[in-house]
Structure 1
Amino acid sequence: MLKNYKVLKGTASALALDDDNDPHIEIRIEANGVSYRIALNVRSKESPHDLLYANIVDFKHGTLTEALEALPMGLTDIRKDHPELAIDYVRGGLIEREDMNVAPFQLSGPKNDLRDFIEPIVQEGIADTDVHFYAFGEAWGPENNKPDEYFHFEPGNGIHDIHMNQGDGGSFKATNAPNQDGALLVHFNNTNEWAAIFLCFQSQSWNTNAATGHPVSDSSGGQGRGEGTRRPQPVVASSLRIIAALINPVNGAGGVEAETVTLINRSDISVSLDGWKLEDDNGRTQTLSGTIAAGELRTIALDAAAGGPQLANKGGDIILRNREDAVADRVGYGKSETANEGWTTIF
């Protein structure tokens, strides 16, 4: 777990690059007369070295962005003062694995590396103090009598680990936890537009334990979506997502459990469900029908009596297949998410 999960709000005043084996984009931030440095990872120490990233230029999330605007300049302790601001890539709905692309740190040519996506936003912020930066991650400092390594202000302090902070199985496993992922959000006050940069290492699993943030093994299940769940088939781009399931319902008449799976159509057009299927991790399927409108939620009752999917309380996977039989979404859950009978699990 991160020790000091915080968000830093301020304006950009300088940009630097380190050029070692663990490169970062370094950004100097000013807030109420205090200088900070935010260090953005742009290359992984572990193979594969290129990062996953999403650069969302028209980011919209009213609840989060409104709360950020209300924060004072400087550091805010998320766990202590504003737990509602915590970011979780796996469960939070801000970003999904299939929305991220692989990009090297720097490569010749336009718009093909992390520098091309990140540095123009920083340069715009340096030129305009109405652009506010919000860096989520681990805070360090103040380091009294120790000038900052790159910008030489004193005392040195800032934010790092501005990336996904769960799903690590190697030397960084000790910092895993849910609800503590890093990100860089940028608010252009003059136009009231937002941009968001999400970063992740390819070695991190997106199927993580809801209590610890550790990767979940094939034998124990876990809560999450994307790579790392039991079935290795790739997830295709899709407007439909699994967002919830009633896995351990209260027994009904005759001891029958009324398990359900809830879908959302996140697109702006209606989608036909004809030919789509829900599947459990034992290959039992249920064919869907009808139409789901733009933005609509649809709760589907599972028909185990007809050989449909059955959701095991010990943990498992739920798979959504499109009419071409490709995997459109896949979520995993563990025993801890089914402990409360009658409660719905949110993905």
Structure 2
Amino acid sequence: MPIQDYGVWKARPVTYQFEYDADDHISPHLSLFFDDGQDNRSSRPQHEARQPDHYKHRHGGKPPPSIPGLNRAAINIKSGDKKESRLVFWINRNFQENPMVNNLSELDSGFKLLENEEAASGLLRLDLIRGNLFNVDSGRLLPHDIEGPNNDMIDVLEPEVKKAIEEDAEIYLFGEQFNSRDGIHNCHMNQGNSKKYQKDDGVFQDGGLLIHYPSSGQWVGVFMGFASQAVHTDEDSGHAISSETWADYLSSTSDRADLIENSVSIDEVQPEEDSQTRRKSVTLTNRTDHKIPLSTWKVKNSAGHSQTLPSNAELNAKATDAFDISNVDFSTIADTATLLNEKGLKVDGVSYNSHPGKVHGQSVVFAQ
């Protein structure tokens, strides 16, 4: 069963607390305390209040940290997997280019429960695989707490949280609301889990942290997953459909020959015909040193509509070419484009919002 009470909490960050290895070497968290401007704590039924499970089982019943009047986000900074305890960390400092921000900015402060039907457009619920929220190649495999600068989860998270507090930013926390309604957890990828946690799998129910700086208009996306989670998951269940994990994909020492991400990149989307009768198309580049047949590959938009590439589509080694996508509609303002191979596995994905980057006529060009 997918996680329950999935939603997004819009608020202002106030303070934070990290658990170091000396505090908890099994299941440490970042506690991010925030204020949503709503005084609804007194109306919560007392029987709903309970300690989160990780405190019951890992901390011997020790109560979680709390600050009167503030809500709390419990953000994992280490995996409970004994064989692979690292997390994978992505940060997108230009998240304003993602079409999600158009809908998120209209939300009122407080927690919003996101129903399943709101996943249809992918513009409110997070999916770290299908949402094209960041460049997957930018991910880092990081341990919890080790000596040295900028080399563990605490090192990379603290500057982002500290800046958000100092500059009075708006934050959007995605995850599962506590039963006690005074906090949120599962603020990480929630699909492609190992068998032990497979019951929590689902699509468009991933956690994350978005930070909006109103003074500059900048949005920063902070995303985390467990290194042991699968890179490819089922479209319906969110269960792993390949053995490839993020540790496999992002490890510089990996010698696996079946890793296909970014073998072909999306360089440009032409969402509509222009005055020179240029047809709607997608421009792709083969980044490998061998020819790739594309006749059964698909291009998909944020609404889930897709088109199979022409029967004669192929790319020679290191070649670039444009392919017709006349039967799938891409928005001229904001959308995502995802490239799927013959097995339905994601190869590349991009997003745009009001034509970020270089724009030629009505086409959107993406830096690779």
Native 8 Å contact 2:263 2:286 kept in 1 = no
Following superposition, the deviation at residue 171 of structure 1 comes to 1.7
Q: CA deviation at 1:279?
A: 6.8
CA offsets 1:134-156 (integer angstroms, 9 cap, x no match): 1111111336xxxxxxxxxxxxx
Partner deviation per Cα, 1:173-198 (whole Å, 9 max, x = no partner): 11101110111110011101011111
Aligned partner of 1:306 in structure 2 is: none
- 1:275-334 Cα shifts (integer Å, max 9, x gaps): 6413799xxx97525643xxx66569xxxxxxxxxxxxxx963799xxxxxxxx489xxx
Please provide the CA RMSD for this pair. 3.8
Corresponding residue number in structure 2 for 1:149: none
1:26 equivalent in alignment to 2:31? yes
Which residues in structure 2 correspond to 1:142-221 (within 5 Å)?
142=180, 157-216=182-241
SS state of the match for residue 99, structure 2? helix
Shift of 1:242: 11
Compared CA separation, residues 33 and 136, structure 1 to 2 (3 A): same
Q: Does 1:94 align with 2:126?
A: no
1:11 is matched with which residue?
12
Cα 1:214/1:272, change in 2 over 3 Å: closer
* TM superposition shift of 1:233: 2.7
- Give the direction of change, closer, same or farther, for the CA distance of 1:110–1:235 in structure 2 (3 Å limit): farther
- Structure 2: how far apart are the matches of 1:210 and 1:188? 34
* C-alpha distance in structure 1 between counterparts of 2:32 and 2:199, whole Å: 26
Identify the residue that residue 249 of structure 1 maps to in structure 2: none
Segments of structure 1 that go 5 or more residues without pairing to the other structure are 144-156, 219-225, 244-261, 301-314, 321-328, 332-347
276 and 99 in structure 1: CA distance in 2 versus 1, 3 angstrom threshold: farther
Partner residue of 1:132? 170
CA contact (8 A) 1:105 1:114 kept: yes
1:66 matched residue in structure 2: 102
Q: Is the 8 A contact 1:272 1:291 kept in 2?
A: no
Aligned residues: 259
Kept in 2, the 8 Å contact 1:43–1:105? The answer is: yes
Shift of 1:127: 2.2
Q: CA deviation at 1:124?
A: 1.8
Flag the 1:233–1:217 CA change in 2: closer, same or farther, 3 A.
Answer: closer
Higher strand share: 1
Q: 1:272 to 1:111 in 2, by over 3 A?
A: closer
Q: Which residue of the partner structure matches residue 293 of structure 2?
A: 278
Question: Does structure 1 conserve the Cα–Cα contact (< 8 Å) formed by 2:126 and 2:206?
Answer: yes
Q: CA 1:40 to 1:297, structure 2 compared with 1: closer, same or farther past 3 Å?
A: farther
1:117 to 153, 156, 171: 156
2:115 aligned to 58, 71, 79, which one?
A: 79
Identity %, equivalent residues: 25
Residues 1:134 and 1:273: Cα distance change in structure 2 (over 3 Å): same
Supply the AA of the counterpart residue of 1:109.
Answer: G
Distance, in Å, in 2 between the alignment partners of 1:175 and 1:140 is 15
Q: Distance in 2 between matches of 1:113 and 1:67?
A: 33
* Cα-to-partner distance string for 1:74-103 (whole Å, 9 max, x where unaligned): 101111684441111222222354332101
CA distance in 2 between partners of 1:105 and 1:286 (Å): 45
Which of 78, 86, 91 aligns to 1:50? It is 86
> Structure 1: how far apart are the matches of 2:260 and 2:116?
37
SS at match of 1:134: strand
Query: In structure 2, what residue type is equivalent to 1:74?
Result: G
* One-letter code aligned to 2:112: T
Q: Which residue of 137, 140, 147 corresponds with 1:108?
A: 147
CA contact (8 A) 1:5 1:138 kept: yes
Asked if 2 retains the 8 angstrom alpha-carbon contact of 1:279 and 1:319, the reply is no
Amino acid at match of 2:209: L
SS in 2 for 1:142: coil
Q: What's the CA shift string for 1:227-278, capped at 9, x where partnerless?
A: 6xxx8533475671599xxxxxxxxxxxxxxxxxx9654xxxx889996413
Out of 95-104 and 191-200, give the one that drifted further. 95-104
